[in-house]
Amino acid sequence: MNAVRNLWWLAAIPSLAATDPACCKLFGIDATPILGEDAARCGRIVDADDRSDAEAMTREERKQAAGCARDAQQDGRAFVYTYRQLISPDVDLMVQAVGGIRGERLLLKLGNVRGENIRSIEACATLEVLGDGRISSRGCTRWHPLIDKLRGPFPAR
């Protein structure tokens, strides 16, 4: 099955932006308590009907979003870095890196890799957005009190 079809829900969310409050709620968490009021919102999930169009748009958007996230990291600001990783034919993955106001670091992934559905939330000891847009992370774990603390139910806004 085509990996793009496994992310059918992207079509229902026009150009999902990191500024959208639903960004981290897709993962079942609300990251606003660790982001504060002045977090940098870098990137969005690019959607396109044609996979080659989506890949081309993703590369350019990711480069710009990576610059935004790197600037936030250098300034010590909280940030959400969001992108869609497309590698034909086997990978279609939504990735979010979250850096909190008190040094919290989360890595979120949702999508399909080689036919396997992926949905993960990890708290990391280190998390860095690299110049090429990739994320370098170490010491990540799926079992952390911060993740439990950020899980729903979500307050009404």
Encode pLDDT of 8-55 as tens digits. Answer: 333 333 344 444 544 577 888 989 899 988 899 998 776 766 667 666
- 156 assigned to some structural domain: no
Give residue 49's domain range. 3-150
- 157 assigned to some structural domain: no
Residue 123 parent element (H or E): strand 116-123
- 36 assigned to some structural domain: yes
Burial level of 16, CB count in 10 A (0-12/13-18/19+)? buried
Please tell me the predicted confidence (pLDDT) of residue 152. 67
Q: What is the pTM of this model?
A: 0.79
- Closest among 46, 27, 127 to 86, alpha carbons compared: 46
**Half-sphere exposure of residue 37, counting CA atoms within 13 Å on the CB side?**
0
- The number of distinct structural domains making up the chain is 1
CA distance 133 to 135: 7
- 106 assigned to some structural domain: yes
